[in-house]
């Protein structure tokens, strides 16, 4: 950006509507070259992974949920056994690196083992190219057109300080998502929207995530199709579990 443009930009009037973190997340997903490595955290079921899978997906999208007992090999290469013989096949990180344009979603990276974490730090290096040695003796090079989306359930600043610093220096933006993604709200029938938004922000055990609404809609479709014979109250009891009474009350108030 030249000096004139920069001056115009920094003196420019503030946008009418400030960006909230959902909009920043979407913007980052749509602009992988500007935001090659991003961290996105929020309560379970708020829609982090779904957005990473569905917003402006490149041709190759790889998604892996990390667990303590996984090693770097699960990320880079996996052993496949066919007809009694085993051979190495590419793991999700390798497939993403080999593709021309790709997105690699690392769900729950903060829960990964120390070995996977250090392999991931190398993967998240912003240097133009990094080369990785694979267990079969070959190497793979990370090009520039890979976007990595790290998801977690904790704000980045509440992570263990060593991990926090390692991730914060490699991942921008580092977001905390509240409530529901605007597209998910729009997807819900209008009469559910206000209640869905409000119970998604409820504290502690009273919080109701999107999965419950997805379940409710699935049952509603089955009722409509005549496959399932139950009342709306029954469907809500099944979908919302321990929070059913309060959600039903809120929905009834909304309809009145
Ligand atoms: N924009 C959307 N439109 C419609 N449905 C959505 C949308 N976003 C999420 N959902 C629904 O909500 C469910 C939960 O979303 P998702 O798996 O992305 O949550 P998450 O934040 O990754 O949760 P966790 O922290 O448990 O991994 C999805 O399976 C999907 O059915
Ligand atoms: Mg997820």
Segment 145-155, tens digit of pLDDT: 999 999 999 99
Mean pLDDT of 187-199: 95
- Could you give the percent of the chain with pLDDT greater than 90? 74
Cα–Cα dist 42/154, whole Å: 7
For residue 15, how far is its CA from the centre of ligand 2 (angstroms)?
31
Q: What are phi and psi of 65, to 5 degrees?
A: -105, 120
Secondary element (H or E) of residue 176: strand 174-177
**Residues with a beta carbon under 5 angstroms from ion ligand 2:** 49, 107
Residue 14 pLDDT? 65
**Cβ-contact 156, 110 below 8 angstroms:** no
* Residue ID of nearest Cα to ligand 1 atom 25: 44
| Gap from CA of 47 to ligand 2 centroid (Å) | 7
Give the whole-angstrom CA distance, residue 39 versus residue 206.
26
Please report the atom of ligand 1 found closest to the CA of residue 177: 21
* Residue whose CA is at the smallest distance from ligand 1 atom 13: 211
> Which class would CATH give 16-177?
alpha beta
Q: pTM (2 decimals)? A: 0.91
Cα→Cα distances 11→4, 5, 14, 113, Å: 11, 10, 9, 46
Asked if the model's pLDDT at residue 177 lies above 80, the reply is yes
- Examine the pLDDT at 22 and tell me if it is beyond 90: yes
Phi and psi based region of residue 208 (left: phi greater than 0; alpha: psi -120 to 50; beta: remaining): beta
The per-residue pLDDT for 191 is 93
pLDDT for residue 194: 96
Ligand 2 centre and the CA of 84: distance in Å? 35
Residue 134 has what pLDDT?
A: 84
Residue 129, pLDDT above cutoff 80: no
What value does the mean pLDDT take over residues 239-248? Answer: 96
Separation CA 64–CA 75 (nearest Å): 8
Q: Which ligand 1 atom sits nearest the alpha carbon of residue 54?
A: 1
Average pLDDT over the chain reads 91
Give the Cα separation of 238 and 205 in Å (integer): 16
Give the residue whose CA is nearest to atom 15 of ligand 1: 47
What is d(CA 147, CA 124) in angstroms, rounded to the nearest whole number?
Answer: 9
User: Residue 237: in which H helix or E strand, if any?
Assistant: helix 232-240
Atom of ligand 1 nearest to the CA of 210: 12
Report pLDDT for 206.
96
Pick the closest to residue 91 from 73, 106, 118, 105 (CA basis).
73
Which residue has the least CA distance to atom 4 on ligand 1? 184
Ligand 1 pocket at CB < 6 A = 42, 44-50, 107, 151, 153, 181, 183-184, 187, 210-211, 214
211 alpha carbon to ligand 1 midpoint, in Å? 7
Better-scored residue on pLDDT, 187 or 126: 187
From ligand 1's centre to the CA of 45, what distance in Å? 5
The four Cα atoms 232, 235, 239, 241 give a dihedral, to 10 degrees, of 90
């Amino acid at each position: 950006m030249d000096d004139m443009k920069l001056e115009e930009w920094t003196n420019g009037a503030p946008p009418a509507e400030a960006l909230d973190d959902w909009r920043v997340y979407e913007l980052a997903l749509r602009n992988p070259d500007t935001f090659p490595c991003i961290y996105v955290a929020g309560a379970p079921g708020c829609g982090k992974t779904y957005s990473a899978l569905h917003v402006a997906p490149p041709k190759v999208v790889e998604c892996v949920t990390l667990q303590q007992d996984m090693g770097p090999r699960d990320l880079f290469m996996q052993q496949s056994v066919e007809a009694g013989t085993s051979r190495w096949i590419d793991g999700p990180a390798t497939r993403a690196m080999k593709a021309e344009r790709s997105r690699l979603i690392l769900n729950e990276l903060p829960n990964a083992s120390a070995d996977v974490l250090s392999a991931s730090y190398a993967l998240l290096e912003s240097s133009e190219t990094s080369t990785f040695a694979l267990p079969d003796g070959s190497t793979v090079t990370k090009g520039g057109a890979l976007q990595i989306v790290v998801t977690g359930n904790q704000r980045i600043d509440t992570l263990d300080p060593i991990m926090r610093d390692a991730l914060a220096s490699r991942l921008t933006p580092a977001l905390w998502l509240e409530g529901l993604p605007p597209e998910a709200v729009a997807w819900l029938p209008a009469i559910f929207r206000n209640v869905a938004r409000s119970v998604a922000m409820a504290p502690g055990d009273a919080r109701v995530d999107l999965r419950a609404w997805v379940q409710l809609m699935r049952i509603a479709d089955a009722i409509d199709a005549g496959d399932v014979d139950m009342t709306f109250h029954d469907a809500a009891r099944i979908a919302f579990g321990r929070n059913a009474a309060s959600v039903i009350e809120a929905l009834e108030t909304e309809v009145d």
